[in-house]
Chain A
Amino acid sequence: MQWETVIGLEIHVQLATKSKIFSGSSTAFGAEPNTQASAVDLALPGTLPVPNEQAFRYAILFGLAIDAEINKRSVFERKNYFYPDLPKGYQTTQLDKPIVGPGHVEVDLPDGSSKTVRIHHAHLEEDAGKSLHEDFHGMSGIDLNRAGTPLIEIVTEPDMRSSEEAVAFAKKLHSIVTSLGICDGDMSQGSMRFDVNISVRPVGQEEYGTRTETKNLNSFRFMERAIKLEVERQIDVIEDGGRIVQETRLYDGDKDLSRSMRSKEEANDYRYFPCPDLLPVVFEDDYIEALKEQMPELPDARKARFVAQYSLSDYDASILSADAATAQYFETVAEHAGDAKLSANWVMGELSGRLNSEDILIQNCPVSAKALGQLVLRVKDGTISSSGAKKVFGILWQGEQNDVDQIIDQEGLKQVSDTGALEAMVDEVLAGMPDQIAQYKAADEKKRKKLMGGFMGPLMKASKGQGNPKLFNEILQRKLNG
Chain B
Amino acid sequence: MEERIELDIRVPNSTCYLGMIGHIGEAMARTLRDYHGDREELAYHLNLVLTEATANAMKHGRSQIPETPLRITITVAGNCLVIRVFDQGRGFDFAALPCQDEHNLPEHGRGLFIIRTLMDRVCYRKSNGGHVLEMEKKLD
Q: Indicate, yes or no, whether A interacts with B.
A: no
Chain B positions within 8 Å of A, measured between CB atoms, are none
